[in-house]
Amino acid sequence: MSVTILSMASTLTEIECINPATGAVIGKIDNMGAAEVAEAVARARGAFAHWGSLSLVDRLDYVRSVRDGLVASTESLCELICDETGKIYNEALINEFLVTAELIDFYLKHAPRILGKHRADPGLLKNKKAYKTYSPLGVVGVISPWNYPYSLSLGPTITALVAGNTVVLKPSEITPLIAIESQKIFAREGYPDIFQVVTGDGGTGAALVTSGVDKICFTGSVATGKKVMASAAETLTPVILELGGKDAMVVAEDADLDRASNAATWGAFTNAGQTCIAVERVYAVAPVYDRFVEKVVAKTKSLVPGKDMGFMTFPPQMEIVKRHVADAVAKGATILTGGSSDGMFHEPTVLVDVDHSMDIMTEETFGPVLPIMKVTSLDEALEKANDSKYGLSASVFAGSSEVKKLASERLDAGSVCVNDCLVAFGVASLPFGGVKESGMGRSHGEEGLLEFSKVKSVVSDITGLKSDPQWFPNKLMSPTVIKKLMRFRYGKSIAQKVKGAIGS
């Protein structure tokens, strides 16, 4: 989707929103500056005083009403997503709406347990009661990307709200309209200031990072994520970063090749490859390589444009895809199918004769290209899969339980799918996030909810005595008593090791 910034008489500018499939202007948004962002954060701060004090039951009632409103508007919102992104309707319905509804459902069921008071073992201090509690952070800033403008905007927003925070969301200037329409549904349910949308380009996002919010949740490129982290560090604002991926698929000798090839085709080309956990490289062992490639090529050729795969969204991303394919071909890769583009549609493309000297195997492509590399063994496949600065997700296809276990343990990624791909993000109870340059922090699951909470440890005396044994003059806690206690609790050998340190 192209972006045009137009000058206006006011202090703001306008950004045109373009349908990538047709080139038509479908809307305009304000390019907000620091002043407008500060106003939104101030409103959210004011709303937090009430929202953060509500019971979790009341917050969940609100979230349930929002979910019902979103579901009731599925048709119009899905159509808007398709207009903004160029993706096909079914992808919007499943990968945006269903995934988000599942996340909401998980928190409606499990947030009371996750955010409740949790007792802790006081250890030696049997005269104490120990527990931990969770409370909201305050105002959360969410900066979301253009590839999944609904699920990657509303997922963290809903999570932060359930935890008791208020939210200021800055959606991508490429696909902002779905966030604006969704916010209207939130506002209808009676709390208009707890979730606000600020629109604009990178300058708007930069202003949000430095606006005094209590946490930033950013989804986007590694390069921008590093800038967000550096800026947030100036005020020690904590961050959640979900960044790029170069996800690997490993195909073992005993894999079901029909399932593996079906998965590879879908995993590489769904959403036109514009998925952070898309299958971006495959390592197939030599004995099954030829048959696997043959099946992938046949399935790829059967895909119907507009029915099975939609358009790419962002023109600069199209240029990256073209550049990666050209670089690979120049270095010896072979295109077995696809390779061409028309406007914002890029043919699903399968490459072979690839290696790690090519950008297509090492840099995030974020487009409908599937490079497949022949390897001599499972060990080489796992080694190549881990030879990456990214570590968001990975997958392995194998028949043997031993191979599946070995591969899932050795693959260095935030999530691993066994005989499957991409679906870990759709399991709302599991944490999602990456290692290495794919980011830090987690969304979804218990961990995702706790990312937006403050934990407090509480220790309370239960005896009512005037003094504790370790308090001055602590005559009851002599070295002799301590050593006897250690022998009783940890064993004689442990006590002997600290004999010199404690004394006789």
Q: Provide the pLDDT for residue 494.
A: 55
SS3 212: coil
Q: What are 157's two structure tokens?
A: 């927003």
* Residue span of the structural domain in which 169 resides: 35-243+444-455
What is the four-CA torsion angle of 331, 333, 335, 339, rounded to 10 degrees? Answer: -40
Both 302 and 208 in one domain: the answer is: no
Question: Is 7 domain-assigned?
Answer: no
Sign of CA dihedral 411, 413, 414, 420: negative
Q: Provide the pLDDT for residue 445.
A: 98
Alpha-carbon distance of 114 to 159, in angstroms, equals: 12
- C-alpha Rg value of the chain to the nearest Å: 26
Both 283 and 417 in one domain: the answer is: yes
Measured from the Cβ of residue 346, the count of other Cβ atoms closer than 10 Å reads: 25
Question: Is 28 domain-assigned?
Answer: no
Alpha-carbon distance of 186 to 65, in angstroms, equals: 9
Task: Supply angle C-alpha 295, 301, 303, rounded to 5.
Answer: 110
- Nearest CA to 175 out of 153, 207, 205, 204 is that of 153
Alpha-carbon distance of 180 to 201, in angstroms, equals: 15
- Nearest CA to 245 out of 262, 264, 220, 226 is that of 220
Both 310 and 192 in one domain: the answer is: no
| Whether the Cβ atoms of residue 378 and residue 403 lie closer than 8 Å to each other | yes
Question: Is 388 domain-assigned?
Answer: yes
Alpha-carbon distance of 10 to 466, in angstroms, equals: 69
In the predicted structure, residue 501 carries a pLDDT above the cut 90: no
User: What number of helices (H) and strands (E) belong to the chain?
Assistant: 19, 21
Both 254 and 229 in one domain: the answer is: no
- Nearest CA to 145 out of 189, 98, 202 is that of 202
pLDDT tens digit string along 426-482? 999 999 999 999 999 999 999 999 999 999 999 999 999 999 988 998 888 888 888
Whether 417 is a known active-site residue: answer no
Alpha-carbon distance of 150 to 329, in angstroms, equals: 36
Higher pLDDT, 402 or 478: 402
Could you give the number of structural domains in the chain?
Answer: 3
Question: Is 435 domain-assigned?
Answer: no
Question: Is 436 domain-assigned?
Answer: no
Both 399 and 252 in one domain: the answer is: yes
In the predicted structure, residue 2 carries a pLDDT above the cut 70: no
Q: What pTM was computed for the model?
A: 0.94
Q: Provide the pLDDT for residue 485.
A: 86
In the predicted structure, residue 499 carries a pLDDT above the cut 70: no
In the predicted structure, residue 176 carries a pLDDT above the cut 60: yes
Catalytic residue chosen out of the listed positions 96, 242, 347, 446: 242
In the predicted structure, residue 6 carries a pLDDT above the cut 60: no
Maximum distance among all alpha carbons in the chain?
Answer: 85
Considering the chain, what is the average pLDDT of its residues?
94
Question: Is 291 domain-assigned?
Answer: yes
Measured from the Cβ of residue 319, the count of other Cβ atoms closer than 10 Å reads: 12
Q: Where does residue 69 rank: exposed (0-12), middle (13-18), buried (19+ CB within 10 A)?
A: middle
Distance of CA 79 to the CA centre of its chain: 24
Q: Which residues in 287-359 belong to E strands, given as ranges?
A: 334-337, 341-342, 345-346, 349-352
Lowest mean pLDDT among 98-102, 209-213, 275-279, 466-470: 466-470
Question: Is 130 domain-assigned?
Answer: yes
In the predicted structure, residue 79 carries a pLDDT above the cut 80: yes
Both 318 and 201 in one domain: the answer is: no
Question: What kind and span of H or E run contains 81?
Answer: helix 74-85
- Percent with pLDDT over 70 in the chain: 95
- Percent with pLDDT over 90 in the chain: 90
Higher pLDDT, 491 or 442: 442
pLDDT tens digit string along 281-297? 999 999 999 999 999 99
Whether 17 is a known active-site residue: answer no
CATH (domain of 306): 3.40.309.10
Residue 262 makes CB contacts below 8 A (sequence gap 6+) with: 299
Both 148 and 135 in one domain: the answer is: yes
Question: What kind and span of H or E run contains 178?
Answer: helix 177-188
Both 391 and 486 in one domain: the answer is: no
| Whether the Cβ atoms of residue 263 and residue 278 lie closer than 8 Å to each other | no
Start-to-end CA span in the chain (Å) = 76
Both 415 and 371 in one domain: the answer is: yes
Q: What are 214's two structure tokens?
A: 């209590």
Question: Is 437 domain-assigned?
Answer: no
Both 323 and 345 in one domain: the answer is: yes
Average confidence (pLDDT) over 111-120: 97
- Nearest CA to 213 out of 173, 160, 146 is that of 160
Both 237 and 220 in one domain: the answer is: yes
CATH (domain of 62): 3.40.605.10
Q: Provide the pLDDT for residue 474.
A: 82
- Nearest CA to 32 out of 49, 53, 50, 8 is that of 8
Rounded to the nearest 10 degrees, the angle between the axes of helix 74-85 and helix 56-72 is: 70
Catalytic residue chosen out of the listed positions 17, 82, 217, 276: 276
Tokens 């197939």 locate to 284
Q: Provide the pLDDT for residue 83.
A: 98
Both 253 and 321 in one domain: the answer is: yes
